[in-house]
Structure 1
């Protein structure tokens, strides 16, 4: 059921999305710092995809379930979506504080699983939160504002890594089997931001109460037995998939190649610079952080600029062009050995990242029913984690046997997948 929603000011939309800053700071550390930590703790390069399986598995399980549960939740004090991203933020904050103290590889891997549960629990309801609050004409601004905070959060995470290595990295000697102390500080900042930014949005943004019809359904669910209430999210997910709009199936095809490629990029940037520039793990990890710093700066700068472009030319055209630009960036990076010149392709990557983190959510939010927005946003995020899950299971053998354990080949492989995603994106038919 669609209800009339008041138009919000720019600052109200900004306040409601501040919590995304902390969530994305945590994801920024996962993209750039976690794999170097695994390497510090003696992981082999071909193990990296499998060690990162926590992200796709927890996303596949947690996001649609939390989405379905939040659709059927209401608290007069806490609202509909906010209880979930508060609990997720608290869990993530604790894990980020503990991560640098990992004494051995499998302890760090276990923490990553718990951290991913917290991050997914916080992030999925946030996507639905924006759709709940904003009228259709402001959806593009709302989701591109989230894209801006994606850039800002990851920018801060990687900026802190570069800064602390510069300040303290030269004073420490790398030891096999241990994490350098300069890396601790970025995780401590993440533990603080994860909780504080979510609290900001929770306190600044009231949620829209359910309609009378929705409230009656919520009250009815409260009278169900424990077992029936436990089964309900799974029933909701199954029913939503059965009636899912055709557009979402098509965007799932785009996501299959897009997110498979992104996971390759995040996992193999550090090994790439160890090969192309002859760096050690710390130096290569720092260069990877600078790459992320650059593209997320671009994301911040262009995220809101994409709003009028998508309104004028259509979301799918801007989205497809951005994917082509990302593919070009990955084709170029392996052949640049200068640590400064290699940052230039990140301009294209940053534009692509801004589009990827905003435009698909805007398009989907316009076509799904309000009363099932949470579960459909969860399903959309399933379409992200399924390719990641496939990648973690398949790319290790591909890297070892087909790509000759060569990180350059891995990056070119990812570029080709972005090209396929761009072709599939131009075939999308969006709602006007």
Structure 2
């Protein structure tokens, strides 16, 4: 029997999501600063996709496993989800501190792998954490609050990049060296990654499991280690087998959406080297301004989307936002004024707010509470699989079919966003599925 969850106040929901600020600051640096660092350290544009393969692979492996394991975890002192995003935050904090100190390309690539493990370990249980705490009526608010912190975290990361370049930059670029002005953004991220998680952990108690759930957790703990090791994989396979049709349909939308987003993040800096004739530092700063703009919009509109989704439905708002993002990316290559090119980011920001909140809210309502962790992990697999495909396939597509031209890469991404929008309109919502047998081994 499911026990009704109490409604939380606005500030309780705010506090429980503060940790997302640090996680998303880290992701903001990955979007805008990691690829420029690879370029500073001597990487060519053609190999940028494959250098980013760490994110998809670690996400594919880490997120569903951590989700399944956290579903069967409980500590009276630490809770169910908190231990995982605490460990992830510590890993992320260490890597962010070391990243700008990278002496060579191989070192930076290795750090990206560890950083992605930490970020994925922190983020997936955080998605389930919100679903655990909130009643259905507050799900939209909870996940759009996360969108607000997604915007705020990435906004701070990107603003720091161009502000520190303006304050502390200057001088010629030296191949093989990371500019000193870029250090400060990563050091701030190292602090925020851990400090914000600690805030949420200290302010938000987890809901204890029911007697039935606790009995299942204790039964799991009593199993031999080898059996416990197999259970997450069994649960993932079982969950995929019983996955709602809604999630299968969403996975197709996600393929085009996230493939396109990865292209944008990888090639926005090369684009400005092509269209505006900037050097890498100038192009990275302009890309950071783009990201800052759209994340300001995200932070502003995230909570506004809550009443809109309640009135018009999440599917329509989500699909319209994807159309807007497609239009924004189509426009960017044809605008050469560094100020006017920020205008399309308004549409991009609305789209980013919807992407970071609406799908999670919809999925949270169609999966059973006792499997929320593993299904949030599977949802994130739907993000990293297209990203992984992009890292392997888009390098050859870029050099062979797109003429090695960053403008064509952007138009390709915009086309994929338009396809995602059309497919989003065809999504069909459904009620939550029920697992009759909670033991994946029986």
TM range (shorter): over 0.9
CA contact (8 A) 2:246 2:430 kept: no
What does residue 187 of structure 1 align with? 186
User: Structure 1 residue 3: deviation in Å?
Assistant: 2.3
Q: Is the 8 A contact 1:363 1:431 kept in 2?
A: no
CA displacement at 1:430 relative to structure 2: 2.1
Residue 313 of structure 1 corresponds to 312
Paired residue for 1:367? Answer: 366
List alignment gaps of at least 5 residues for structure 1. Answer: none
Instruction: Give the 3-state SS of the residue equivalent to 1:175 in structure 2.
Output: coil
Return the TM-score normalized by structure 2: 0.97
Residue by residue over 1:371-393, the C-alpha shift from the partner in whole angstroms, topping out at 9 and shown as x without a partner, is: 00000000000000000000000
Q: Distance in 2 between matches of 1:14 and 1:48?
A: 36
Corresponding residue for residue 298 of structure 1: 297
Question: How big is the shift at 1:364?
Answer: 0.3
Contact 1:22–1:194 (Cα < 8 Å) also in 2? yes
Pair 1:387 & 2:386 matched: yes
How far apart in 2 are the matches of 1:342 and 1:3?
51
Match of 1:228 in 2: 227
Are positions 1:16 and 2:31 aligned together? no
The two structures have a TM-score, normalised by structure 1, of 0.99
**In the alignment, structure 1 residue 30 sits paired with structure 2 residue 30:** yes
1:336 shift after superposition? 0.3
Mapping for residues 95-114 of structure 1, pairs under 5 Å: 95-114=95-114
Structure-1 separation of matches of 2:235 and 2:152: 34
Q: Distance in 2 between matches of 1:244 and 1:431?
A: 12
- Counterpart for residue 199 of structure 1: 198
Q: Distance in 2 between matches of 1:39 and 1:162?
A: 17
Separation in 2, partners of 1:163, 1:280: 17
In structure 1, how many angstroms separate the alpha carbons of the residues matched to 2:223 and 2:9? 40
Is 1:276–2:275 an aligned residue pair?
yes
Match of 2:3 in 1: 3
Q: Is the 8 A contact 1:66 1:124 kept in 2?
A: yes
SS at 2:130 equivalent: helix
Q: How far 1:174 moved relative to its partner? A: 1.3
Q: Please name the residue that 2:214 is paired with.
A: 215
Gaps of 5+ in 2: 432-442
Match of residue 87 from structure 2: 87
- For 1:153, the equivalent position in structure 2 comes to 153
1:248 Cα deviation after fit: 0.3
The RMSD of aligned alpha carbons is 0.7
Cα offset, 1:431, TM superposition: 4.4
Task: Describe the SS at the equivalent of 1:380.
Answer: helix
CA distance in structure 1 between the aligned counterparts of 2:330 and 2:92, rounded to whole angstroms? 35
| Conservation of the 8 A alpha-carbon contact between 1:2 and 1:369 | no
Partner of 1:120: 120
Which SS does the other structure have where 1:224 is aligned?
coil
Q: Which runs of 4+ in 1 moved over 6 A?
A: none
Distance 2:187 2:226 in 1: 40
- 1:268-316, Cα deviation, whole Å (9 max, x unpaired): 0000000000000000000000000000000000000000000000000
| Matches of 1:414 and 1:226, distance apart in 2 | 45
Residue aligning to 2:166 = 166
Q: Any idea what the Cα deviations from partners look like across 1:76-125, whole Å, max 9, x if unmatched?
A: 00100000000000000000000011000010000000000000000000
**CA-CA distance at 1:188 after TM superposition:** 0.2
Aligned residues, how many? 431
SS at match of 1:33: helix
2:434 matched residue in structure 1:
none
Residue of structure 1 in register with 2:438 after alignment: none
Rounded to whole Å, the distance in 1 between the matches of 2:337 and 2:316 is 33
Alpha-carbon distance between aligned partners in 1 of 2:344 and 2:313, rounded to the nearest angstrom: 25
CA contact (8 A) 1:315 1:430 kept: no
Query: SS of the counterpart of 2:169?
Result: helix
Provide the C-alpha distance between the structure 1 equivalents of 2:430 and 2:10, rounded to a whole number of angstroms: 24
Structure 2 counterpart SS, 1:23 = helix
Match of 1:70 in 2: 70
2:356 and 2:166 map into 1 onto residues whose CA distance is 30
Distance in 1, matches of 2:250 and 2:398, equals: 27
- 1:353-409 Cα offsets, whole Å, 9 max, x none, are 000000000000001000000000000000000000000000000000000000000
Distance in 1 between residues matched to 2:2 and 2:214, nearest whole Å: 15
CA distance in structure 1 between the aligned counterparts of 2:284 and 2:226, rounded to whole angstroms: 47
* Cα pair 2:63 2:124 within 8 Å, conserved: yes
Q: CA deviation at 1:320?
A: 0.2
Number of the residue aligned with 2:405: 406
Residues 41 and 179 in structure 1, CA contact (< 8 A), matched pair in contact too: yes
User: In the alignment, is the contact (CA less than 8 A) between 1:264 and 1:411 conserved in 2?
Assistant: yes
Quote the residue 1:238 is aligned against.
237
How far off is 1:2 after superposition? 3.0
